[in-house]
Amino acid sequence: MQSILVECAWAATRKKDCYLKRKYAGLVSRRGKKKALIAVGHKIIVAAYHIIKNKAAYQEPVLHENPRKQNKQIKYHLNKLKELGIEINDNNRGRFFTEAVSARV
């Protein structure tokens, strides 16, 4: 049964914008691939249990963006662009405009 759940977990981690994919991505960095797959398989079996128990359709949990993580990613990518010679200016309330550093000479 465990091997079937691991295969289902692999499939779930390949689906776009899926709760289980995010769960796997969060666990794989801390636990490793195999343990993360077991944990995702456990999530699947718990969900299946509740579906059968409550006789209700599966409702995927709402995916919330983590603003701290998002800001950290934006800062990281802006620094990478600056290293490549592209300067980003925030001129219009969150709209970013690019201009090459060499073009301003």
Neighbouring C-beta atoms of residue 65, cutoff 10 Å: 7
Pair of tokens at residue 67: 């603003």
Distances (CA, A) of 27 to 33, 83, 85, 103: 8, 31, 35, 44
pLDDT band with cut points at 50, 70 and 90 for residue 40 = very high
- Alpha-carbon gap, residue 80 to 52, rounded angstroms: 49
Neighbouring C-beta atoms of residue 15, cutoff 10 Å: 10
- Alpha-carbon gap, residue 76 to 100, rounded angstroms: 18
Q: What is the pLDDT of residues 48-86, one digit of tens each?
A: 999 999 999 988 887 777 788 788 888 898 899 989 988
